[in-house]
Structure 1
Amino acid sequence: MSLGFTALELARIQFAFTVSFHIIFPAISIGLASFLAVLEWRWLKTKDPIYQDLFKFWVKIFAIAFGMGVVSGVVMSYQFGTNWSEFSRVAGSVTGPLLTYEVLSAFFLEAGFLGIMLFGWGRVGPRAHFFATCMVAIGTCISMFWILSSNSWMQTPQGFLIENGIIVPQDWFAIVFNPSFPYRLMHMAAAAFLVSALLVAATSAWHLLKGRRDALVKTSFSMALWMLLVLAPLQMFIGDLHGLNTLKHQPAKLAAIEGHWETNHDEGMPLYLFGIPDMQAEETKYAIGIPNLGSLIMTHTLDGKVLGLKEFAPEDRPNSLIVFWSFRIMVGLGVLMILLALFALFQRKDGKLFENKWLQRFAVLMGPAGFIALLAGWFTTEVGRQPWVVYGVMRTKDALSPVSAEQVGFTLIIFVVVYCVVFGVGIYYMLKLMHLGPQFIHSSVNDTHDDATVIQASKRPLSTFTEDAEDPEQKEPKQ
């Protein structure tokens, strides 16, 4: 049951499949956890039950995403022992402790306060519950810190020696804060918040299109778009810094991303908008580019030199066709995010934020864009690192376990079936909840907020809510 692939190819496909399923759930939980913390903070500050009702709705989405993220992450980690045991044997002295730190400092923090966050309303005080929500949000960010540190070290390794073929840590500060880590951490954090902002905006836009005009929908729509306006341009800036770092530490990856084969010595490198890189012919066919723009972006000069793929041995080159297009999908969706945010800003100034159906349709269509851009970015990062599992130190083919193609192929089929069933049901339930939308619980259905109030309140971007600590039957609705 090898499916016509080698064991190495199937093991890579299997890991790519499981990590692609996994990454979308932590992205949701990272963004929504902070969104929930801001909503609860707004509720504590203003006592406006709108924020509590929003929390009550989005905490359900967060709980589902968090649970599926934990389950899919555990399954993924087992592959280090099944398919990639040589990687664990050689590099486990670095990656093992980093993942352990993630469990000890982040997962235990999340698990310790998650129950209070989900079930503590009316059982602990409002401030204690808010503290628990903040701890969960901080825990998700700490988890991201350690996971990105481990992965970034594989991209730009330092702080180690090799003894008897085994990687031995020498400087943990250098290992954790390796050269690409700050940029990758910022890039991933912004991506996670963009995923959640687009999810909230799309859900709210869907209900606006269906005719809802209550404060729950308006507030969440406005807040999500404020967040998008801040983060989408910031993500482009972070991406530029990350690109400069990649040019310095992983020039082969950058050359593959740009479909750049010949080092430009006498003129600037063009930026290809379209092309089909051919690994055998060593050229980018049907290329359509803008002269000198590649050098301007990569080196911040019009004629800056950028190494071409031909400077590297064929066996050391990433697959340019894959990363060329995955990168452009990511960037293209990022541009659309900025356009959506600017479109919303102009409509906000004209007082038509909640009435423009073109804006709402645009927001609904952009709902999945955060997930697609996230996956495209990860494909660019991981495929661009090939053929290395630890860049410049250990090749991917040397990290493989002594398994047959039939064994890996059989388990891959099982993974596909189980994941599609289990996580398909979870995703379906999340979509069903979003289709239902936030409901009035503590606030009156007749409670209306004018547009100016909604927009002013929503300038504190991430928000959602949970139940009030008070008994809802004893709380008078706001008139």
Structure 2
Amino acid sequence: MDPILLARIQFAANISFHILFPTVTIALAWVLLFFKLRFNATGQARWMDAYRFWVKVFALSFALGVVSGITMSFQFGTNWPGFMNAVGNIAGPLLAYEVLTAFFLEATFVAIMLFGMSRVPGWLHTLATLLVAVGTSMSAFWILVLNSWMHTPQGFEMRDGVAHATDWWAIIFNPSMPYRLAHMLIASGLTVAFLLAGLSAWRWLRGDRSGGVAAALRTGIVMAAVLAPTQLVVGDLHGLNTLEHQPAKIAAMEGNWETRGNVPLLLFAIPDEAARENRFEIGIPNGASLILRHSADGVVPGLNDFVGEHPPVAPVFFAFRAMVGIGSLMIGLGLAGAWLLWRRRDLPRWYLRGLVAMTFSGWVATLAGWYVTEIGRQPWLVTGVLRTAEAAGPVPAGSIGLTLAMYLVLYAGLLIAYVATLYRLARKGEYGAAGDHRAVPQPA
């Protein structure tokens, strides 16, 4: 196989595994702070029971996120040396800010958060939880600044093929950063919402009606009900920003070949890049034009305007629909659960089973969204500045293939172990025995 394609697959495998765990820790740190503050305010044991269980999930996720992040960083020097050679003056400081201002803060106080509950004053433990939450969010901020700059670069000039910063404010707050940051933070919140609700619903169905289970289940449902519709709005704004700055990506997302108006919103199709057409189209008339241009006859860019300069169509097209489909299910389940809680109805078994089925849906939606984002940027590594092929190193295909196979086997084993450990913790009843045995989680 082409060594550049293998290097891309290897980096995709690494980042796909890595992103699963920050997606959990970013929002879960804030949920843990909420549990701790509720316990401090009410003295109710159920909040501390929930904290004690979910802090274990945080610790496990944090550890795997750190390990997978380190292995991923080595690939910049091995498979992609041209990236740092060309844009290292910008990428290097941003990565350093992430380490210095976020990772050290996060790593320092996570020890107090995990092991200091009975060793330090309560206010200090709460402060440590707050600082870990701030650290996870700051880490996400700097990484997304760099990623967004790679999509919509500005605030620099090229000298002899090397990017030099001219305006750090413009680099940090580049055109796509606010949308990408908001979209990712909400995605993390939804991932944790359904992880909370799904694992707690599983406990509930098994007969554990303890207060900690009820508190976590209710928290997850309310988070889903608030964040899922919000993500719909933020995603639409992000899409409009992408239309302005990366029209070829939008054309691939929509499977639209010719620039025209009255473009349907395709629910299903099989893009045929060789024939430059779609097969078996099923769509809503004028839907894409209405969403992207807010007019039925609004003109949507077509892929034929970017021949040789647009991303692979099928992966972007299908990943986008996977993300939207899962997001729609999240909206439905979140709003249905909020209505049941508001009406103080019993949570029916079909609903609880639906939550269990959606336990890891946030991961699937996040990966689908990142595939849309990153594959949709091709053939560019930094849009308009550095092509992917120009950044690749001279590593033989055989060496990349061997390490890729090793990564895949290792990551599959770690992922299975992670999920198995979560359910093992849940089966052991880590919430505690003192419980609320009412049929519905009650308001705090």
Distance, in Å, in 1 between the alignment partners of 2:123 and 2:26 is 21
Q: Which residue of 2 aligns with 1:357?
A: 349
Q: Does 1:139 align with 2:127?
A: no
Between the two proteins, the alignment pairs up a number of residues equal to 444
Q: Which moved more, 1:279-288 or 1:235-244?
A: 279-288
1:149 counterpart SS class: helix
Q: 1:421 aligns with which of 385, 410, 413?
A: 413
Distance, in Å, in 2 between the alignment partners of 1:138 and 1:327 is 30
> What does 1:66-215 align with in structure 2 at a 5 Å threshold?
66-215=62-211
TM-score (norm: length of structure 2): 0.97
1:456 counterpart SS class: coil
Matching residue's letter, 2:271: P
Task: Say if 2:16 and 2:367, in contact at 8 Å, map to a contact too.
Answer: yes
1:148 counterpart SS class: helix
Q: Which has the higher contact order (CA 8 A, sep 6+)?
A: 1
Q: Which residue of 1 aligns with 2:279?
A: 285
Q: CA deviation at 1:430?
A: 2.6
Task: Say if 2:153 and 2:382, in contact at 8 Å, map to a contact too.
Answer: yes
Q: Does 1:393 align with 2:385?
A: yes
Q: Does 1:260 align with 2:245?
A: no
Q: 1:300 aligns with which of 294, 304, 319?
A: 294
Name structure 2 gaps, 5 residues minimum. Answer: none
Task: Say if 1:116 and 1:129, in contact at 8 Å, map to a contact too.
Answer: yes
Matching residue's letter, 2:234: I
Q: Which residue of 1 aligns with 2:8?
A: 12
Distance, in Å, in 2 between the alignment partners of 1:235 and 1:432 is 32
1:407 counterpart SS class: helix
Matching residue's letter, 2:201: A
Task: Say if 1:28 and 1:192, in contact at 8 Å, map to a contact too.
Answer: yes
Distance, in Å, in 1 between the alignment partners of 2:423 and 2:338 is 27
1:400-451: CA deviations, max 9, x gaps? 01111112112112212232334543343233223434422xxx62x53757
Matching residue's letter, 1:455: Q
Distance, in Å, in 1 between the alignment partners of 2:279 and 2:370 is 25
2:174 counterpart SS class: coil
Distance, in Å, in 1 between the alignment partners of 2:344 and 2:418 is 38
TM-score (norm: length of structure 1): 0.90
Task: Say if 1:155 and 1:391, in contact at 8 Å, map to a contact too.
Answer: yes
Distance, in Å, in 2 between the alignment partners of 1:196 and 1:50 is 19
Q: CA deviation at 1:92?
A: 1.0
Q: Which residue of 2 aligns with 1:471?
A: none
Q: 1:24 aligns with which of 1, 20, 23?
A: 20
Taking a change above 3 Å as real, the CA distance of residues 302 and 208 of structure 1, as seen in their structure-2 partners, is: same
Q: 2:310 aligns with which of 302, 309, 317?
A: 317
Task: Say if 2:209 and 2:437, in contact at 8 Å, map to a contact too.
Answer: no
Matching residue's letter, 2:291: I
Taking a change above 3 Å as real, the CA distance of residues 434 and 88 of structure 1, as seen in their structure-2 partners, is: farther
Q: 1:340 aligns with which of 311, 333, 341?
A: 333
Task: Say if 1:86 and 1:399, in contact at 8 Å, map to a contact too.
Answer: yes
Q: Which moved more, 1:135-144 or 1:417-426?
A: 417-426
